[in-house]
């Protein structure tokens, strides 16, 4: 009797397993949450061998908490904050993540001859766009020159994981860390066998595969004039890494003058040209994130020249007296609908 009961039980389990295998229907599911001072969203197509959604969300949250704990300038205990407080001339053993991201940031700094500068933090903080409480105040030229004296990517070096500064510079990875976070979340999904997904952190996006019924992922480039719900351009985004940099969200106004959060390291002041939005498609969201900021600093003319010279897929919106003008590099043309 016991053997018969055991066999019957096993048969029920086998039937349940077979039913799940043959009756499984893929679904588009998703979740979101807060991270890095902004929000994230993950959408993906389920498959029969993937763990449940709650477990995947827990893994994603752990990844994002780790990136923030390593690279936040707002967290005084983060690895980046500890390095920034370390003495000049000392060698610092950086984690693999910090070394990887700083290496990419240094390459972009060199490629743009300092238009993008990974040590721009003192100027960002001076203008009130960094950690801590700030008032909307225009710094004096003396204060700007003092902050500029602490900026210079060439004072920072990386040898393997050995990070060193020859001057008391302040490293700020805000322009590239979100992109790195997106890439790490995407890698986590793929480790679970998920190959159809969209990951977004603060507007930086990575997609892979397709949606249900072979529908394409579509990404709208936000119109600076229309807010979050209006798209200036829609990109068919299959297997893409996309990042956008713009000055139309984070700024302050003083005496009728608008001051952008994007700081030009060479002048020490917010950008004043008419380029208001840059969208980059690259091999990784981390690179797209950094390159979008770099071109946003360079401006519409030099930025487009830089994109063409380096075969970068760039889409730019330039403010005109009435509305906005589209500019894009040759490498971006295949993505236009």
β-bridge pairing 313-319 and 275-282: antiparallel
Residue 32 marked as a ligand binder: no
Residue 38 marked as a ligand binder: no
Q: Are 173 and 106 in contact (CB under 8 A)?
A: no
Taking each helix axis from N to C terminus, what angle separates 96-111 and 53-71, rounded to the nearest 10 degrees?
A: 60
Please name the residue that has the structure tokens 């519409």: 300
Question: CA 59 to CA 61: how far, in whole Å?
Answer: 5
Here the tokens at position 203 are 């507007």
Angle at 318 between CA 316 and CA 323, to 5 degrees: 125
Number of C-beta neighbours around residue 111 at 10 A = 17
Residue 260 marked as a ligand binder: no
The three-class DSSP label of residue 225 is coil
Return the exposure string of 52-77: e unless at least 16 CB atoms fall within 10 Å of the residue's CB, then b: eeeebbebbbebbeebbebbbbeeee
Annotated binding-site positions: 175, 289, 293
Annotated binding-site positions for Mg(2+): 175, 289, 293
């Amino acid at each position: 009797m016991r053997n018969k009961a055991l066999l019957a039980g096993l048969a029920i389990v086998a039937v349940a397993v077979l039913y799940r295998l043959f009756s499984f229907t893929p679904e588009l599911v998703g979740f979101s949450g807060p991270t890095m001072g902004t929000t994230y969203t993950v959408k993906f197509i389920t498959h029969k061998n993937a763990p449940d959604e709650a477990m995947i969300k827990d893994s994603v949250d752990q990844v994002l908490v780790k990136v923030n704990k390593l690279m936040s300038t707002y967290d005084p205990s983060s690895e980046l904050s500890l390095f920034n407080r370390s003495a000049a001339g000392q060698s610092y053993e950086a984690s693999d993540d910090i070394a990887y991201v700083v290496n990419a940031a240094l390459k972009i700094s060199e490629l743009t001859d300092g238009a993008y500068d990974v040590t721009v933090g003192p100027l960002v903080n001076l203008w009130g766009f960094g950690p801590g409480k700030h008032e909307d105040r225009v710094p004096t030229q003396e204060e700007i020159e003092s902050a500029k004296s602490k900026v210079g990517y060439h004072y920072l070096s990386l040898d393997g994981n050995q990070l060193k500064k020859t001057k008391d510079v302040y490293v700020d990875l805000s322009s590239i860390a979100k992109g790195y976070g997106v890439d790490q979340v995407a890698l986590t999904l793929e480790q679970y066998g998920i190959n159809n997904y969209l990951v977004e952190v603060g507007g930086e996006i990575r997609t892979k595969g397709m949606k249900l019924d072979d529908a394409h992922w579509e990404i709208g480039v936000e119109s600076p004039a229309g807010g979050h719900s209006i798209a200036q351009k829609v990109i068919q985004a299959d297997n893409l890494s996309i990042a956008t940099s713009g000055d139309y969200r984070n700024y302050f106004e003083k005496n009728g003058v608008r001051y952008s959060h994007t700081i030009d390291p060479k002048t020490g002041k917010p950008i004043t040209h008419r380029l208001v939005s840059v969208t980059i498609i690259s091999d990784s969201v981390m690179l797209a994130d950094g390159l979008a900021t770099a071109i946003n600093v360079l401006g519409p003319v030099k930025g487009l020249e830089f994109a063409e010279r380096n075969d970068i897929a760039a889409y730019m919106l330039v403010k005109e007296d009435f509305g906005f003008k589209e500019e894009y590099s040759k490498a971006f043309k295949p993505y236009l609908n």
